[in-house]
Amino acid sequence: MSKIATPILLVFFLTSCGGTDEATETTNTPHVVVTQSATSVNPFIHFLSLTGEGTTAVRAVGVLIRPKAGTFAKPVTNSYSIEYLQAKGYAGPHSSAIVIPVVGLYQNYANTIDVYIDFGNSTRTVTSVQIQTAPYVSPPGVTYMPQIVKAFDGTATLGFNYFFIKTRAGSPAVFDIDGEIRWTADGITSSQWSIFSNNKFWIASPNSLALHSQELDGTVTSRNIQSASYTNAHHNIETGKQGLLIEMDAGTGPTRNIESILAEVDEAGQVLQEWNFADIIANEMLSGGDDPSLFVRPGIDWFHMNSAIYVAADDSLIVSSRENFVIKIDYQTAAIKWIFGDPTKYWYTFPSLRSKALTLNVGGLYPVGQHALSINSKGDLQLFNNGGWSFNQPVGAPRGVARSYSAVSAYAISDQTLEAVETMVFDNQQTLLSDICSSAYDAGDGSMLVTYSVADHGYMSGNLTPRLVGIDPNGAIAFDFRFIDSNYCFFSWNANFINFEHLVFE
């Protein structure tokens, strides 16, 4: 996530956030002229030019995009140090002219931008400019303008203002809680496997080993994941212990490892660590006296990894196998700590795996077809509990339950007693089924963003309208946006938070 704004500019934003149509200067303030550049990337990304003899004294620049009247999302702010601007080529060595990217604009709107200039030594100025943006045109087959099922009215407390959607339609798309699209860019064909980290989107390719980073000014840099055996990435990217956790396929033909390898990769594409769950589970089954060939089936999507997170508290990994269960392993040794899933599925018939199974006490929903693992604000394991049974079990093997609705579930888990207690469930009155893809994340205060990727009745129904729903800390729906899609999980694989109200570039 983005860092918190530097103290000087953050105080300046808070004390001057209303802006002014005229420059407000202290005594002996250096002279700088702020104008809109003719250059723009798209409706959401424009540039300002700072000129005048005072530019050589500029130490930092911040911009605040004033909200539309009647909206509730906090203003987008961008804060830039002169060192960052020089490193990016937006300012020369002596800062004789400075270019400032403005990201997060409203499309098709006359945006008012408050510009805050810090010259150091407590000398600052603020002025305002307007940027008129063009309408945004959605890619074919989808619409980025939601149908508002329930508008956010400002009465609910939410721990987030902005979120980004991971989409097969192109680069990630950022929205605010009012339903306005505030950012996307060209240069990426699919961002289904992506994360926002260190002020960049990191995006893996579904068709190659390419790992892209896309900055908010639209700049794309690409490198390859350095592996002779991997073929492509899939599903999700998360922050790991040292780098990025990326789910990989490897090999070809009948021995191909399909969606069962997790790699930790640094920003240069170097593989730091690997966990092959075909080997991990086969070894566990052998040690427990079972025949792993009955369960671990290379060349078949028997595991279907779709989410993996690093847990610093005990140096472990928790991984979602959509076909089977959630599994926790030790980061260093890959020893299995526990397995948690529907006991009516095929995996539970093997004593070696059953011996690692968690018992769900006091009732509740077992994870079924789950996605989007996370640790929530209470320290519990949270996931989107899809409710869809397994797709790729052997003929005649039990596929588990299939619920008529999806839910968000959280669990307190004891590694010692192998017990789980469901501590939270949000099932939207059992009205929506999204049996594949989807996500649910906690904003840190108990409020959530829930993505139903194939609502309202599951992907087999042919009703592919994604729903993005904000939930307040009391479990009430704060907003509900419906989007038009042309294919399953095309517009929204899942979605997560992005801190557009405090973007700091240093």
Give the tens place of pLDDT for each residue, 342-398: 999 999 999 999 999 999 998 899 999 999 999 999 999 999 999 999 999 999 999
Q: How confident is the model at residue 93 (pLDDT cuts 50, 70, 90)?
A: confident
Could you tell me where in the chain the CATH 2.120.10.30 domains are found? 147-505
Handedness of CA 473, 474, 477, 479 (dihedral sign): negative
pLDDT at residue 5 in the model: 39
Is 7-132 CATH 2.60.40.10? yes
**Strand pairing of 76-81 and 503-505?**
parallel
Provide the token pair at 152. Answer: 């956010």
Strand boundaries in 225-314, DSSP class E? 230-239, 244-250, 257-265, 271-276, 305-311
Q: List residues bridging with 223 in a β-sheet.
A: 211
| Whole-number pLDDT of residue 374 | 98
Q: What is the pLDDT of residue 2?
A: 35
Q: Taking a C-beta distance cutoff of 8 angstroms, is the pair 294, 309 a contact?
A: no
Q: Is the Cα torsion angle 334, 277, 394, 360 positive or negative in sign? A: positive
The label of the residue with tokens 């052997």 reads 394
Question: Nearest CA to 105 among 181, 19, 24, 214?
Answer: 181
User: Which option is the CATH number for 147-505: 1.10.3720.10, 2.120.10.30, 2.40.110.10, 3.40.50.720?
Assistant: 2.120.10.30
- The neighbour count for residue 189, using CB atoms within 10 Å, is 14
CA 455 to chain centre: 20
Radius of gyration of the chain from its Cα atoms, rounded to whole angstroms? 24
Query: For the segment 158-176, what is each residue's pLDDT rounded down to a tens digit?
Result: 999 999 999 999 999 999 9
pLDDT of res. 148: 97
Does an H or E element contain 8, and which?
helix 7-16
Whether omega before 485 lies within 30 degrees of 0, making that bond cis, reads no
Whether the per-residue pLDDT at 261 is higher than 60: the answer is yes
Section 440-463 average pLDDT: 85
Residue 82 · residue 58 · CB < 8 Å: yes
Question: What is the structure's pLDDT at 465?
Answer: 85
pLDDT tens digits for range 13-56: 544 444 433 344 455 788 999 999 888 999 999 999 999 999 99
Q: Give the DSSP per-residue string, 417-441.
A: TTEEEEEEEE-GGG--B--SS-EEE
pLDDT of residue 459: 59
Instruction: Note the pTM of the prediction, 2 decimals.
Output: 0.93
Output the pLDDT for position 458: 60
Averaged pLDDT for residues 404-428: 98
What 119-125 contacts at long range (C-beta under 8 Å, 24+ apart), as own/partner pairs, is 119/29, 119/30, 119/54, 119/57, 119/58, 119/59, 120/57, 120/59, 122/26, 123/26, 123/28, 123/29, 123/30, 123/57, 124/12, 124/26, 124/29, 125/23, 125/24, 125/25, 125/26, 125/29, 125/32
Band (pLDDT 50/70/90 cuts) for residue 8 is very low
Angle at 420 between CA 331 and CA 283, to 5 degrees: 40
